[in-house]
Each structure stands twice: as structure tokens, then as C-alpha cells.
Amino acid sequence: MEKINIFEKFSKFTEHWEPKVIAEMNNYQFKLVKIKGDFIWHNHADTDETFIVIKGKMKIQFKTNIVDLEEGEMIIVPKGVEHKPMAEDECLVMLIEPKGIVNTGEKVSEYTALNDIWI
């Protein structure tokens, strides 16, 4: 039962688009990711995915619209929904999703990150 300081954890890495695990609740993981630029279109067939913006601004493009998110804002992307995260400047984001979810969905690409990397 140790507390976790979110900003202290963000200070432990610099790379973009490579989520790091900071906590586990049942079979769900809390991950931190630094994002900058455009990610790829993808979806997660079997699960919803939560984005919480901790610092900065980001956008999530859907097939029909774009949602702008800033610090203190969150969104749940429903399972199966195609989405493309992006950020003009670096943005710090918390992700919450079941353990084992691949960041690029079923599309393996240069953006596919190693899973279950704890910091």
C-alpha cells in the first residue's frame, strides 16, 4: 500500500508513445505516456480505453469528429472505435485499460510499444 506520485513517475522517462505502467487495480493497469505528433489509426476490439490529460493539450481524431482535450479532461474511447491520438506539443496523459492491451490495437507498426513496462 504505497502511494504513487504521478508527476514523479513522469520524470522517469522522456520517450513519446511508449506507455509505462505505474499501478494495477484488479486486472486493469494505470499507464503514463508522453505524446507528441500524430499516432496511427487503431482500435481496441475488446475493451474501452480511458485517456486523462495530466498536462498539456491533445486531440483524438475519430472518423466523424475531433475531440480537443486539455489538462483535467478525460474521455472514454469505446471498444472497437477507430481513433487517432495526436498532440502538437508534448502532452502528458494517463491511460487506464485492462492489462495486456497493445497500444496500436491489432496493427503492429513502428509505434507498437512493449507492454507491461513498469516504472
110 touches a second copy by CB under 8 A: no
33 touches a second copy by CB under 8 A: no
Site for a second copy in 77-106 (CB under 8 A): 77-79, 81, 96-98
11 touches a second copy by CB under 8 A: no
Ramachandran angles phi, psi of 8, nearest 5°: -65, -40
Q: Under a CB-based contact definition with an 8 Å cutoff, are residues 50 and 76 in contact?
A: yes
25 touches a second copy by CB under 8 A: yes
Q: Under a CB-based contact definition with an 8 Å cutoff, are residues 44 and 80 in contact?
A: yes
Q: Under a CB-based contact definition with an 8 Å cutoff, are residues 53 and 69 in contact?
A: yes
Shortest spacing between CB 116 and a second copy, in angstroms: 16
